[in-house]
Chain A
Amino acid sequence: MKFFQKCCILFIAIAVLICFTACNFDSKYDSEFFSMDTIMTITAYGSKGENAVKAAENEINRIDALLSVQNKNSEIYKLNRDKSISAASDTLALVNRGIEIYTLTDGAFDITIEPLSRLWGFYTGLENRIPTQEEIDNALKFVGAENIKIDKSNIILNEETSLDLGGIAKGYASSIAAQILKERGVSSAIISLGGNIRTVGTKPDGSKWNIGITDPDDNTKEIGILSVSDTAVVTSGGYQRYFEENGQIYHHIIDTKTGYPAKSGLKSVTVVSKDDTLADALSTGLFVMGLEKSKEFYRKNSTLFEAVFVTDKNEVYITENLKNSFSSQQSFGVIEI
């Protein structure tokens, strides 16, 4: 009898010990959902995670309902249909931001891209096709942020101009989501809005978050890892949405100067910035500019962002201040300020 008692006590003691070590991890709350025509995940650590994530998710859905190009009840849909609306503060702020970045990038990022994206069929539910030159020329006449007028809270468009905030809406949404998580007491979280990453604080153990940059040629691999905290990391690449016709690849990043998918010699651009909206817009803008123009742009605006470029020849370039946070198996060049 004593033999069994001793046995039992020992096992219970060891089991309790194991439980203690296993239960010592920070609690974690995960949510995966569809919004803004993509898949989103938010992971927050700590006891306040669940409520904060739910609030952030609601806020993202609210922003999506305002800004969606396809949703017939959205403000952007109504603006594109009626060419004039009295806008809610989020819509107004983001359209203003879009115009500002259009000027900053000399038109490389353009929210009046809607007619072109529609022609090429880059909206969910449409069929991809190559438009005729005539169709493109016609659409180009009404492309450009000069066609947007803002008068107090009213947004007015030129007769054939339409907006698509898809290039900045996710950035805007991730900044708001991060703000909500922080306000609700979350100090460690990671947000992915369809591959647009936003980190809140550091990992629960205090180390930086490791963000893999997708290899444009093989999406199961990564070209490198960025170690960051409290920042947005956004990638634009021709590999993300495209179609093939007659052996030619047509991707979704349209150059609004030509009306065709941008042929800038780049496969992908990743932008790191504290400003999510800017990171989102610049990932597209720098992709359209190409490497050489992007280098010049970086030298003028190095306080605003950092970036990682992958060229058509699979060369990797990073901007100067990422030297200590980027690691890769392959060699890479550094763009100096």
Chain B
Amino acid sequence: MKTRTWIIILSSVVIVCAILWMSILNSLSPSKIVGIYQDGNLVEKIDLNSVTYQREITLTGEFGKNTIYISNEHIEMKSAECPDKLCVKHGELKSGGTPIVCLPNRIVIQFEDDSKEADAKTGAVR
């Protein structure tokens, strides 16, 4: 009976350690979850790792249409009908970093929960 108890204790500790280890590893691997927001509301949350075929999403705002291209490698603003097209010029978003922002149509595309060294970035958006 006593040895059995010890086996239970040891195996539980091993299992818990394994779970903790896995969750630590998981939090270290770069997240590829992208959130698309319009007017502050979430339009869609996509895990780029699970994207099997390329697709496009079209959002409409005050200044016309924006087309977002999604593949398992990156996400980008493919076209926009707003005058300055800063969001298209932003190019491909492959990991964390500065989000793609379309100010006229109030669209934000950003990597969620990217573990970064800095707490905030100055100069990114104007």
Contact = CB atoms under 8 A, between A and B. Distances in A.
- The residue in A38, A203, A214, A235 that gathers the most chain B C-beta atoms within 10 A of its C-beta is A214
B124 A195 contact: yes
A34 B106 contact: yes
Contact of A214 (B37, B117, B122): B122
Interface of B: 4-5, 8-9, 12, 16, 20, 37, 39-40, 63, 83-84, 86, 90, 95-99, 101, 103-104, 106, 108, 116-126
- The residue in B12, B16, B39, B126 that gathers the most chain A C-beta atoms within 10 A of its C-beta is B126
Interface residues of A, number: 50
22 contacts: A3-B8, A7-B8, A32-B108, A121-B83, A125-B104, A128-B83, A190-B120, A192-B121, A194-B125, A195-B123, A210-B118, A212-B117, A213-B121, A214-B122, A220-B98, A225-B117, A226-B122, A235-B123, A240-B123, A240-B125, A240-B126, A268-B123
Contact of B16 (A3, A14, A211): A14
A47 to B, nearest CB: 20
Interface string A167-188: 0000000000000000000000
Contact of B117 (A39, A210, A213): A210
B103 A38 contact: yes
A197 interface: yes
A305 interface: no
A109 B31 CA distance: 42
A226 B120 CA distance: 10
Contacts of A243: 84
Contacts of A49: none
Contact of A212 (B39, B122, B126): B122
Contact of B119 (A3, A7, A203, A236): A203
Contact of A211 (B83, B98, B103, B118): B118
Contact of A233 (B37, B90, B122): B122
B82 to A, nearest CB: 8
A126 interface: yes
10 residue pairs, one from A and one from B, having the closest CB atoms: A235-B123, A220-B97, A212-B118, A240-B126, A214-B123, A219-B98, A235-B122, A212-B121, A195-B124, A194-B125
Nearest to A22: B23
A315 interface: no
B21 to A, nearest CB: 13
Contact of B83 (A125, A213, A236): A125
A285 to B, nearest CB: 16
Q: Is the interface of A mostly helix, strand, loop or mixed?
A: strand
B125 A38 contact: yes
Interface of A: 3, 6-7, 10-11, 14, 18, 32-34, 37-39, 121, 124-128, 190, 192, 194-197, 203, 209-214, 216, 219-222, 225-226, 233-237, 240-241, 243, 252, 268, 270
A210 B39 contact: no
A213 B98 CA distance: 12
Nearest to A234: B122
Given A126-B83, A220-B98, A214 B121 contact: yes
A325 to B, nearest CB: 13
Given A3-B4, A270-B123, 19 more contacts: A10-B9, A10-B12, A32-B37, A33-B40, A34-B40, A38-B103, A125-B63, A125-B104, A194-B126, A195-B122, A214-B98, A216-B123, A220-B95, A222-B121, A225-B118, A236-B123, A240-B125, A240-B126, A243-B84
